[in-house]
Structures are given as C-alpha cells and as structure tokens.
A and B are shown apart, each in its own frame.
Chain A
Amino acid sequence: MEIKRTKVASQATLPSAEGSGNDFRVRQLRARDLLRGDLSGADLEAHVEQSVLTTTFERALNWARSNALWPATFGLACCAIEMMSIVTSRYDSARFGAEVFRASPRQADMLILSGRVSIKMAPVIRRIYDQMLEPKWVIAMGACASSAGVFNNYALVAGADKFLPVDVHVPGCPPRPEALIHGILKLQRKVQGEPDLGWRTRYRAEGTEELGDPTVPHGA
C-alpha cells in the first residue's frame, strides 16, 4: 500500500505577508525562519503582529492563577459529599482547572469550607488556612459555613468569616455541585480582578465591596 506523504516543503517559497497569511503552513514556515534569523522586513512585522499578544504581567499571572485553583482536600460535613462529586465525570471541575484536590495545604490555592464549623474545629481550620501559601482563597460552601444554618446553637461558629477571610459564599443546604462550580467560576472572576458584583449591580451598590489589592497578601 502506498502511503502518500506531502513533502515538508523546505523548498516552498514563502508567500508574501499580504498573501494567504492565515494559512497554518505558512505561519509554521515563517516561525521556522524567524528562529533561524532569516525573517526580516515586512515578513517579520507581519509575524510579530500575528503571534504576539501584549498584556500586563499581572493580568497574565492572575489569568494563570484563576485557571488552576487547586482546592485542599478538606471536608467538614455533608456538604463535603457534594464537594467530592464536583470532580466526578458527571460535573468535572477539571474543565475549570479546579480538579486537583491537594492532600497538603502547602500545595492548595483554595480552601472549601464544606459543612458546619464547630467551635472546636475553628482553630484547626485557621491553622490549615495559615499553612496555605499565598495567594489563597476561601469558599464558604452551604448555609452552615456561612451562618451556622440550621445548627444555630451552642456548638457552632455562626459564619466562618469570623476567623478567616471568605471570598465567595455559596448558598444552599447543601448546595448542588453545579452551585459550587458556579462559586468557583465567581472566584475565578474575582482572581482575575473582574468580580461579578451580583446584588451590588441590582441594588446600585457598586464600590462598596472590599476587594483589596490582589498583589498584596491577605492580612498584610
């Protein structure tokens, strides 16, 4: 059987920049020439225009951070069951870069408080939060982590933001995995410096949020 191979056109003539510049093959050859130092003049200009994107370093960094928000493996109560299911094939938080539950807080970017926070557990959570490296974010998942929910009694801390800064509150009892993924998407927008204002837009309260400078670590 004869296999038909198109030759790698080392002898192919390079079309001019105004020509079929969108052709992948042309761009490939042009990049090769650039690396050899053969590209100059109008061709070089065209190549730079096509292949270079300018942005600020911070924006690029935050974009990279927001697309790899690794959560800590840390479950508190029944919400943790829903949290575990966001990485299953049905919900697949890998689509948003948040699938790698790290077993060590040193490697995690995000702490999901999935369940009720008891008075006895609060110092433990605070220690795990302190062990995480900057930059780090916290999602309070469900009614209990946000406000003690139905367990509003002597044993619980009513609201995890009493002892650590919470970035996103996900309502629900427990929230569905879709809701948690929605919270992760909101957090991504926040990390990128363009937070969804949500109710602030609705009630015309823009400018009242406490965002802080993303380059300054928490507590600095």
Chain B
Amino acid sequence: MPDATGLELIAHDLRDQVPGSVTDTQHYRGIATLIVDPQQILATLTWLRDTPNQAYGFLASLHASDYLPATPRFGVHYELLNMDRVERIHVKALLDDPGEPALPEIDSCVSLFPAADFQEREAYDMFGIAFRGHPDLRRILMPEEYEGWPQRRDFPIGGEPVLFTHNEPKTPGWYE
C-alpha cells in the first residue's frame, strides 16, 4: 500500500502522463484511493499496469456502489495489486445517473484485465452500469429476463411480508 506521500507521487505522475485523469486522492484507513475521471479510466489503468515502477498487474477486484443521495451517484471501484511489492491501490471512478431508461456508462477494462469479465457482468447485473466494449454484457446472477437493478438503493428489497410480533394486529383473537 503506498503511503500518503507515495500516493501523491503516483497522482502527480499520472496527471503528467494522462492529463485530466486524477481528480482527487484519498488516503483513509490505510487504503490509498485515486479518484479518476471515468472518461480516462482505461488510460489510467493502462498507465498503472504498464509503467515499470508502478506495475500494478493484477486486478484483485472490480465492484460498483451506489451513493444514492450523493451526486455523482455511482462508483466503480478497481482494486489493483502489485504482486512483487504486495502493494494495493484503489481506483475509483464516479458516474452520474443519466435517469431512468438510460444506464451510466464506463469503458470496459476486459482488454486490460481478462479477470474483469465476470466482475463487470456482476456490476451490470446488480447496479445497471453499462461497460462499453465488454465482449458479452448480460446478467450473470439474476435470470436474464429479470427487470431492474436489485442492488441499487432505490430498489425495493422484495420478498413477501412476514408476520412478526411487532407488526401483527393487536386485536385479541385476530387470527380466527
């Protein structure tokens, strides 16, 4: 994990090599985060993977999140790992919600990290984030004809109401 100074150095180099890529940095609870312009995500990941003294060659995780009251609403997170130095860096791209039928879009990184294939499908399945250029973007966990994006914050939990003691009718003998 790069320390706070190391993170600033990485951000500085990135701003030099890929102009307009890093919008912010964050070092919180030992996690170094680069907050990146979603238009520049492929260039940023390529730079982090291929620059010799960075060489974050392993995509440990790709996931999404929904920060509903906030704007931009969606986050796409890339956890990169350098296996030699055992250093991790967290890249976060924030996406605006374009409103109902349209989906937030970001470039797919399957061409850089083949491991992203299923993880991007899962992010698409659960949050409805469209990854441009993904080879086979369809639902992975939910049925293919399912409607809605179940992990979004405004999606109802679903299921069936269950009668607990706190919501049962208080009238004695109501069950008869």
Contact = CB atoms under 8 A, between A and B. Distances in A.
Nearest to B157: A153
A155 B143 CA distance: 9
A147 B160 CA distance: 9
Contacts, number: 33
Given A120-B142, A120-B143, A154 B162 contact: no
B155 interface: yes
Interface string B150-167: 100001111110100000
Given A154-B150, A155-B150, A119 B159 contact: no
Interface in A151-204: 151-156, 158
B146 interface: yes
B158 A154 contact: yes
Interface in A107-164: 119-120, 147-148, 151-156, 158
A117 to B, nearest CB: 13
A153 B156 CA distance: 9
A63 B19 CA distance: 80
A153 B141 CA distance: 14
Contacts of A119: 142-143, 146
Interface residues of A, number: 11
A148 B146 contact: no
B146 A158 contact: no
Interface in A44-86: none
Interface string B28-68: 00000000000000000000000000000000000000000
B139 to A, nearest CB: 9
A156 to B, nearest CB: 7
Contacts of B157: 152-154
Interface in A75-103: none
B141 to A, nearest CB: 8
A151 B157 CA distance: 10
A155 B162 contact: no
B156 A154 contact: yes
A119 B159 CA distance: 11
Contacts of A152: 157-160, 162
A154 B143 contact: no
Interface of B: 141-143, 146, 148, 150, 155-160, 162
Interface of A: 119-120, 147-148, 151-156, 158
